[in-house]
Amino acid sequence: MKALASDFDGTLYFEDGIKENDQQAIVHFQKHHLFGLCTGRPLIGVQHYLKDCIQPDFYIVSSGACILDKECHVLYEQTISKEIMKAIYQQYHQKAEVSIQADFRIYTLMKDSKIPIAQTYVESIDCIGDEHIFGLSINAVHEQQAKEWTHDLNETYKEIIAFQNKEYIDIVKRGCSKGEAVKKLKELLHLDMVYGIGDSYNDIPMLESADCSFTFHDSPQIVQEKATHIVSSISEAIKMIED
C-alpha cells in the first residue's frame, strides 16, 4: 500500500482554496492508495476547508504530535506539560500573538486575533486543561524574526522543539516532527511506501523521512535540496507516483 502525506498551507490549500486539478487527482489516487495531511495545524484548523471536498485517509496534525485515522480516532499522540506551555506563553505573548493547541482546539487570549483559523477565546491561560496540550504557535510576523525566535526556543527549552514555518513558529514536544510522524504512520498502517510533499522549512523532516518526496519550484532553496523531485503541483506529484 502506498500513501501520500501532504502539507496543508501552501501545498494543498491556497488563498483561493484547493486547486480543482489537485482535488481530482487526490480523489482518483484514493481509489487505490491513501492520501492524508501532514500539517502544523491542529485537526480543527483543517476540517472546515476539506468539507465536501477531500476526505483524508489519515491526519498528521500539530507538527507530528498527533496522528488520527480517517474517522479522526487518535492513533498516536505526544503532549507537552502545562508548565512548559505557560512558560513559553509568558515569554512571548507581549511580543507576538501566541495560540495554544490543546484538546483538538486552538486557544487564544486575544479577542481580536489575526490568525485566520477558528479559535476558542479564553480569558486566562489557566482555563486550558492540563492534558492533551499538543503545542503552541507564534506569529512572529517576519521570517527573520521567526528564524531567530526558533533558534532561541530550541536553545532554551530542552523539553520542546520549535519549527519555523515562514513567519510562524510551531512548538511541540521534543522528538516530534512531521518526519517522525511519517515513520510512525508507516508502522501503524503497515505501509509499503510513504510519499511526502511540502513547501516550507517545517516540512524538511517529512521530506527527509519519506521514501520519496516532492516540493515546488518556488520553495526555499534549502527545502528543494531535501526533496527527491521538484514539481508544480500535487497533481503532478501524483502523476509521477502512479506512472
Render pLDDT for 196-214 as a digit per residue (tens, 0 to 9).
999 999 999 999 999 999 9
Q: Phi/psi class of residue 36: alpha, beta or left (left: φ > 0; alpha: ψ in -120 to 50)? A: beta
Which amino acid is residue 153, in one-letter code? L
Phi, psi dihedrals of residue 32, rounded to the nearest 5° = -130, -15
Q: What proportions of the chain, in percent to the nearest 5, are helix, strand and coil?
A: 35, 30, 35
In the predicted model, what is the mean pLDDT of residues 10-27? 96
Residues 86 and 156 in one domain: yes
pLDDT of the residue at 58: 98
pLDDT score recorded for residue 124? 87
pLDDT surpasses 80 at 133: yes
* pLDDT at residue number 114: 59
Check whether residue 66 and residue 87 sit in a common domain: no
- Residues with Cβ < 8 Å from 92, sequence gap 6 or more? 98, 138, 149
Amino acid, res. 122: V
Question: Does the structure show a pLDDT above 70 at 227?
Answer: yes
The reported pLDDT for the residue numbered 151 is: 98
Q: How far apart are CA 141 and CA 14, in angstroms?
A: 19
State residue 200's pLDDT score: 94
pLDDT of residue 1: 92
Mean pLDDT on 70-85: 96
Q: What is the mean pLDDT of residues 48-65?
A: 94
Q: Does pTM surpass 0.85?
A: yes
Query: What's residue 136's pLDDT?
Result: 96
Same-domain status, 86 and 168: yes
Q: Does 235 share its domain with 122? A: no
Share of the chain above pLDDT 70, in %: 97
Q: Are 48 and 113 members of one domain?
A: no
**What is the pLDDT, as a whole number, of residue 116?**
54
* pLDDT tens, position by position, 101-128: 998 889 988 877 655 566 788 888 888 9
Are residues 73 and 125 both part of a single domain?
no
**pLDDT at 63 > cutoff 80:** yes
Final residue of a structural domain among 173, 195, 230:
173
Distance CA 234, CA 220 (A): 17
Cell numbers found for residue 48? 472546515
Mean pLDDT of 5-24: 96
**Residues 110, 55 share a domain:** no
Considering the domain architecture, whether residues 162 and 182 belong to the same structural domain is answered as: no
CA-wise closest residue to 6 among 230, 236, 198, 200? 198
Q: Residue 91 is part of which domain span?
A: 82-173
Which grid coordinates are listed for 25?
A: 487527482
C-alpha cell at 1: 500500500
Determine contact, residues 172/134, Cβ cutoff 8 Å: yes
**1-5, 44-48, 152-156, 201-205: which has the minimum mean pLDDT?**
44-48
**Mean pLDDT lowest among 12-26, 52-66, 124-138:** 124-138
Q: Is the pLDDT of residue 8 over 70?
A: yes
Pair 89, 154 in one domain: yes
Residue 119 and residue 125 in contact, taking contact as beta carbons nearer than 8 Å: no
> Do 113 and 52 have their domain in common?
no
Residues 6+ apart with CB under 8 A from 68: 43, 58, 59, 61, 74, 75
**pLDDT value of residue 51:** 85
**Based on the domain organization, do 60 and 90 belong to the same domain?**
no
- Domain total for the chain? 2
Cβ atoms within 10 Å, residue 86: 15
Separation between Cα atoms, residue 221 and residue 19, nearest integer Å = 24
**CATH code assigned at 116:** 3.30.1240.10
31: CATH: 3.40.50.1000
